[in-house]
Amino acid sequence: METVLSISSISKRYGKIQAVNDLSLDIRKGQVFGILGPNGSGKTTTLSIILELLKSDAGRFQWFGKAPSKESRKRIGSVIESPNFFPYLSPVINLKIVADIKDLGYGDIDRVLHLTGLYERRNTRFKTFSFGMKQRLAIASALLGSPDVLILDEPTNGLDPQGIAHIRELILQTASQGTTIIMASHLLDEVQKICSHVAVLSKGKKLFDGEVSKVLAISDSFEVAATDMDSLAGAVKLLPGFLSAAREGEKFLVYFNGVIRPDELNRFMFGKGIILTHLSERKRSLEQHFLELLRDNE
Ligand code: ATP
């Protein structure tokens, strides 16, 4: 899959604060990539750097396999600050102004108004819009000209549940048409619901990245039992990533550092001539994993 954005070792410091610390990431076409971290973890700074609104102190990044350029900028739409439009003008006029600035025709305006559910309100003044509608207009404006990438900073901040649902749907719909989405969020639940991939940031450092479904599947422990518990005790120690095993009644609770699938574990034991009589995973949620990662990094 084509790499859309490749970030290599970028860092940014504000005085004593290391806002971004040696961050590397690869984002591929079609991904809905969440940059997840608590307030102050460097998400906005990272987005500002890749949008060339800020210069990094070190490192580099490439868009579509090349150094950033006027051409690459045209392929990227973004909403990084609170929506800002002319209050007394309608969405249509506001979008015409944006289209002029972006050097685009007006042919795409109706499409983005329909997509964001604002078509019926196209001739009402912006100042009468709810916060959610303003946010959707900002996304509509970013989607003018069908960019290949849409970058959003905390897209559901300050919205009510209905507004949140609207924006989520809009992001998923945009992604389903092949647009790569890069979004910053401090909400784990949001990333779980929307994103295909995630990078977790804490104090400007990447703690972890990968497919959301794999992160969700992370299990740090298994319960296992076999008729010959002594052989089992010896064999579990040979498994990749083995950390420790503790006897719990008729079973062992085995901990691993990293991901191991139950079928791998089962096959491994079978290969050693051990037939398991019990095998069950103790799953961790992404939330537990996220909290552990943040705690470990404190
Ligand atoms: P939030 O969700 O609260 O915006 P964030 O993850 O987007 O957080 P950043 O806004 O990138 O984080 O901030 C990272 C760190 O850099 C924070 O400690 C912040 O206080 C600091 N910072 C950001 N911008 C500046 C600035 N212009 N001058 C000084 N420090 C800054």
Fold of 218-297: Alpha-Beta Plaits (3.30.70)
Residue 202 pLDDT grade (very low, low, confident, very high; cuts 50, 70, 90) = confident
The full length of the chain comes to 298
**Whole-model pTM?**
0.79
The domain defined by 3-215 folds into: Rossmann fold (3.40.50)
Ligand 1 pocket check for 44: Cβ under 6 Å = yes
Q: List pLDDT tens digits, range 130-165.
A: 888 999 999 999 999 999 999 999 999 888 898 899
The answer to whether 100 touches 69, Cβ cutoff 8 Å, is no
Task: Decide whether any atom of ligand 1 lies within 6 Å of the 11 Cβ.
Answer: no
Report which secondary-structure segment, H or E, holds 33: strand 32-36
**pLDDT tens-place string over residues 95-130:** 999 999 988 999 999 999 999 999 999 999 999 998
Ligand 1: distance of its center to the CA of 18 in Å? 9
- Helix 161-176 vs helix 131-143: angle between axes, to the nearest 10 degrees? 10
The single-letter code of the amino acid at 32 is V
Summarize the confidence of residues 264-268 as an average pLDDT: 93
Measured in Å, residue 23 CA sits from the centre of ligand 1 at 15
Given pLDDT bands bounded at 50, 70 and 90, which one contains residue 267? very high
The domain segmentation of the chain, as residue ranges, is 3-215, 218-297
